[in-house]
Amino acid sequence: MRAKLTLSKKYSLWFSVMSLAILILVMLSVFAVLWKGADTLRYTLRDATREAFENTQQTTIHNLSEYVRLQLAPLLYQTDVEKINKLIRNLGKGMPISSFRVADAAGKVLTDGTKENRSFGMALPFSEQTLKTDSVLIEKTKEGFRATFWIGIEGSTIGYGEIIFSGEPLQKAIVQAENAVVSIWQGYTKKFLTITLIGVLGIALLTIVLSIVISRTYALPLMKLRDATTKIALGNLQYRVEVSSDDEIGELAGSFNKMVEELQKRTEELEETNEALQGEIQERTLMGKALAVEKERLAVTLHSIGDGVITTDMEGRVMLMNPVAERLTGFLWREASEKPIGDIFRIYSEETNEPTADPVSIVLKSGMGIDSPGDTTIVGKSGIRLSIAHSCAPIRDSEGAIIGTVLVCRDITERRRLEKELLKAHKLESVGILAGGIAHDFNNLLTGIMGNISLAKLYTTEESDTYEWLEEAEKATLRATDLTRQLLTFSKGGAPVKKTVSIRELIMDSCRFVLRGSNVKCEFSLSPELWSTDADQGQINQVLQNLIINADQAMLEGGAITLSAENIVVGPESGLPLKAGKYVKLRIKDEGVGISKEHLPKIFDPYFTTKEKGEGLGLATTYSIIKNHHGHISVESAMGVGTTFTLYLPASEEAASRARNTGGEVFSGKGNILVMDDDPTIQALARAMLNKLGYDAVVASNGDEAIALFRSAWESDRPFDAVLMDLTIPGGMGGKEAIKHLISINRQVKAIVSSGYSHDPIMANYQDYGFSGVAAKPYTIESLSSEIHTVLEHPAS
């Protein structure tokens, strides 16, 4: 806050300022006159010093030049340039000489004293005076002074000399002299200023003291009156001003005291009235606060309720809405306030999509509450449709009369969606079970067909037409086998039946197979030393085909799909959701339309598709297969650029050469084999194949029969060397149960599990159940012979 100036202080200040201003003006005028005089003196001294120095310098130069001229004459006459140079150099050590040139009689420079002698041959400029006399001519130049002189002996010219004297030392001397003058001048100025300052301060102090004394004499009574006013204003109405004179100020003090008395009386009356009013105000304030608390509690409750709440009056106009109701209807409370409920709460039947009756009207008419469990759709302000459940009840006053309604509604859209999803999943599960059953039976049939074809091939020669037809039939059967396997994977996503496979061949075969007849071509970039992988050949085929088909369909106008594969070692810090270890990394890159950012996160979701006829299971199955292989799949895509899928599959611990025989080689052998299968066709086929391979075969239709035969043989002198068992026997003991019994008879039993359910976990992890090998149906004579050969060659685990 700014300090208030008293009258006394104002007078003192004004008087002081005026006095000081006059004093400063006088001092400044004196100072200016003195300054001007001192400055003139300073420049006069400087110029005089300069002139004196210059005169001295010129005399020195003249004398020196004269001396040099005499010294140079004999040297120049003898052309002793060496000594001339020495003379020049010696002079340069003691004098401020910038350059020194000696010319011959023609005025051309012979030497400038330097080793380089850059001036040699230059014409030396001379004035007429130098040429004609033997005196030294001194000229003032920018650099300093130039002395030129004639050199000769007995009036005969033998050369000329030129010395340039630097003006720098002269300039330095002048500056030093000038500095000395300035220094003296500054000393005097400082003393003068100090004396002046002390004088000004003394006079100023005297002026202030005088002004204070004078002002206090006249301003003191007024200041007393001001203090009295302040005290009264602060509430001291008892205070009175002392009347000490009978002049105007004394009269003013008397009037002031009368006014204070009147004011004291009025104030006492007002205080009494005020006290009564204060009591009344306090009572009203307490009531208002209680009401506000109640309102606040109600508002918080309404805001906190998870259901939408709308209240109406008797005419069905909206009176109150909470935030949930605002979200469901799309209207803000302030928009909906006092509008008919029908305009805000627009509901339709979920079944018929027809508008349903307004519940508020019904309640107001019937006086009874109603409840809708959830077959209603509400259409919001922006057109968004949500499934809701709602109820409505009348609001009654303390006497039971209806004064409005309360409508409560709840969003059940998510619940509805989950119910539909569940229903869909149940349906698909049923389809899956059906598909799996069909595939199993179909596999048994295919086993019969394929086995017989492979047997037939053994009885024909490769050159014959029959062999070729059988080959074609076998290929068709193999494709049918793949179909059943895909069907099984699609339906249940079963555990993979892993074998050590070369991923290179799978990639190339899949690409060529899918793109046959397409305008899209395949480009391969496969590492030559690509590791093998432990994978279900059929499932990985399915994955590759799914991805290649998608890529093909994304490039309607043709293009190229690039398939690359390389070996990588994933470390613990890789950031990939994979265990550390060796992997084969595959990249399938297309140049198609790409996947939108919106769709990209959903493409692996079941039932998500952008195709008109797609089921949305392809990529979901792909994802499931890769996960079941302990691998990883990721996708990158840009609209208009293309899509790249990246797959990681664990590398096999075994070399590719350890891969089982799929190349058509038939392994013959000897021994006694027990075959267990419920299907007579398979029984006959297996027997024929084994016989053809050189083995003796005994068949059993179920587990009990197989156990009995095995036990009998074990106790005889000709036990079975191996057992081929179907995993499932309808209505009987299957391979899973039977193997336990066989192991109890002979711990070293070599049993091969066979099944059309290639997704079954037992097929994938057969060793965990006591089997030594696996033969997925349908099998060929080659694959069967290979499996038996492998099992018999290796000791049982």
The nearer residue to other proteins, 121 or 577, going by C-beta atoms, is 121
- Give kind and range of the element (H or E) at residue 589: strand 581-589
Task: Say how far apart CA 777 and CA 433 lie, in whole Å.
Answer: 19
Closest contact distance (angstroms) between CB of 580 and other proteins is 58
The nearer residue to other proteins, 152 or 323, going by C-beta atoms, is 152
Residue 686's CB: how many other CB atoms inside 10 A? 25
The nearer residue to other proteins, 82 or 419, going by C-beta atoms, is 82
Closest contact distance (angstroms) between CB of 102 and other proteins is 11
Residues 6+ apart with CB under 8 A from 725: 676, 677, 703, 706, 734, 735, 738, 739, 751, 752, 753, 754, 771
Closest contact distance (angstroms) between CB of 122 and other proteins is 9
Among 2, 4, 93, 115, binds other proteins (CB under 8 A): 115
The nearer residue to other proteins, 115 or 365, going by C-beta atoms, is 115
Closest contact distance (angstroms) between CB of 121 and other proteins is 6
The nearer residue to other proteins, 80 or 665, going by C-beta atoms, is 80
Task: Say how far apart CA 665 and CA 148 lie, in whole Å.
Answer: 119
Closest contact distance (angstroms) between CB of 176 and other proteins is 36
The nearer residue to other proteins, 78 or 567, going by C-beta atoms, is 78
Q: In 3D, which of 699, 683, 681, 691 has the Cα closest to residue 449?
A: 681
Q: If binding means CB under 8 A, how many residues of this protein chain bind other proteins?
A: 14
Task: Return the SS3 of 749.
Answer: coil
The piece of 103-111, 303-311, 337-345, 504-512 that touches other proteins (CB under 8 A) is: 103-111
Residue tagged 């409370």 (tokens)? 333
> Is omega for the bond preceding 169 within 30 degrees of 0, making it cis?
no
> Is omega for the bond preceding 778 within 30 degrees of 0, making it cis?
yes
Q: Which two tokens stand for residue 533?
A: 């992988």
Closest contact distance (angstroms) between CB of 107 and other proteins is 14
Tell me if 10 contacts other proteins by CB under 8 A: no
Residue type, 537: Q
Residue 684's CB: how many other CB atoms inside 10 A? 16
The piece of 115-123, 455-463, 647-655, 670-678 that touches other proteins (CB under 8 A) is: 115-123
Among 10, 89, 118, 396, binds other proteins (CB under 8 A): 118
Closest contact distance (angstroms) between CB of 72 and other proteins is 14
Beta bridge partners, 773, equal 752
The nearer residue to other proteins, 108 or 224, going by C-beta atoms, is 108
The piece of 118-126, 183-191, 193-201, 779-787 that touches other proteins (CB under 8 A) is: 118-126
Among 14, 35, 67, 120, binds other proteins (CB under 8 A): 120
The nearer residue to other proteins, 111 or 447, going by C-beta atoms, is 111
Among 72, 103, 110, 729, binds other proteins (CB under 8 A): 110
The nearer residue to other proteins, 152 or 606, going by C-beta atoms, is 152
Strand boundaries in 380-421, DSSP class E? 385-396, 402-411
Task: Say how far apart CA 330 and CA 186 lie, in whole Å.
Answer: 88
Closest contact distance (angstroms) between CB of 94 and other proteins is 22
Residues 6+ apart with CB under 8 A from 302: 309, 320, 322
Residue type, 634: S
The piece of 109-117, 553-561, 589-597, 768-776 that touches other proteins (CB under 8 A) is: 109-117
Among 2, 4, 94, 116, binds other proteins (CB under 8 A): 116
Closest contact distance (angstroms) between CB of 159 and other proteins is 10
Among 58, 117, 166, 746, binds other proteins (CB under 8 A): 117
Residue type, 31: F
Q: Which two tokens stand for residue 503?
A: 């991923």
Task: Give yes or no for a contact between 754 and 776, defined as CB atoms under 8 angstroms apart.
Answer: yes
The nearer residue to other proteins, 90 or 255, going by C-beta atoms, is 90
Task: Return the SS3 of 592.
Answer: coil
Task: Say how far apart CA 211 and CA 13 lie, in whole Å.
Answer: 8
Closest contact distance (angstroms) between CB of 114 and other proteins is 9
CA distances in angstroms from 461 to 456, 465, 538, 663, 692, listed in the order given = 10, 9, 30, 18, 16
Closest contact distance (angstroms) between CB of 135 and other proteins is 25
Task: Say how far apart CA 726 and CA 756 lie, in whole Å.
Answer: 9
The nearer residue to other proteins, 101 or 390, going by C-beta atoms, is 101
Closest contact distance (angstroms) between CB of 168 and other proteins is 28
Q: Which two tokens stand for residue 333?
A: 């409370």
The nearer residue to other proteins, 78 or 744, going by C-beta atoms, is 78
Closest contact distance (angstroms) between CB of 67 and other proteins is 23
Q: In 3D, which of 736, 737, 706, 722 has the Cα closest to residue 772?
A: 722
Tell me if 99 contacts other proteins by CB under 8 A: no
Closest contact distance (angstroms) between CB of 169 and other proteins is 30
Task: Say how far apart CA 226 and CA 219 lie, in whole Å.
Answer: 11
The nearer residue to other proteins, 67 or 120, going by C-beta atoms, is 120
The nearer residue to other proteins, 76 or 682, going by C-beta atoms, is 76
Beta bridge partners, 160, equal 103, 150
Task: Say how far apart CA 116 and CA 607 lie, in whole Å.
Answer: 96
Closest contact distance (angstroms) between CB of 118 and other proteins is 7
Task: Give yes or no for a contact between 111 and 124, defined as CB atoms under 8 angstroms apart.
Answer: no
Residue 204's CB: how many other CB atoms inside 10 A? 15
Beta bridge partners, 566, equal 585
Closest contact distance (angstroms) between CB of 77 and other proteins is 10
First to last CA, the chain: 100
Restricting to residues 760-789, name those near other proteins by CB under 8 A: none
Closest contact distance (angstroms) between CB of 87 and other proteins is 14
Task: Give yes or no for a contact between 74 and 128, defined as CB atoms under 8 angstroms apart.
Answer: no
The nearer residue to other proteins, 121 or 437, going by C-beta atoms, is 121
| Concatenated DSSP letters of 617-662 | -HHHHHHHHHHHTT-EEEEEEETTTEEEEEEEEEBPSS-GGGSPP-
The nearer residue to other proteins, 83 or 711, going by C-beta atoms, is 83
Tell me if 588 contacts other proteins by CB under 8 A: no
Q: Sheet holding 632-638: strands in order across?
A: 520-526, 559-570, 581-589, 642-650, 632-638
The nearer residue to other proteins, 72 or 174, going by C-beta atoms, is 72
DSSP state of 350: T
Tell me if 121 contacts other proteins by CB under 8 A: yes
Closest contact distance (angstroms) between CB of 110 and other proteins is 6
Task: Say how far apart CA 199 and CA 201 lie, in whole Å.
Answer: 5
Residue tagged 């003249």 (tokens)? 62
The nearer residue to other proteins, 85 or 786, going by C-beta atoms, is 85
Restricting to residues 48-87, name those near other proteins by CB under 8 A: 79-82, 85
Question: What are the residues binding other proteins (CB under 8 A)?
Answer: 79-82, 85, 104, 110-111, 115-118, 120-121
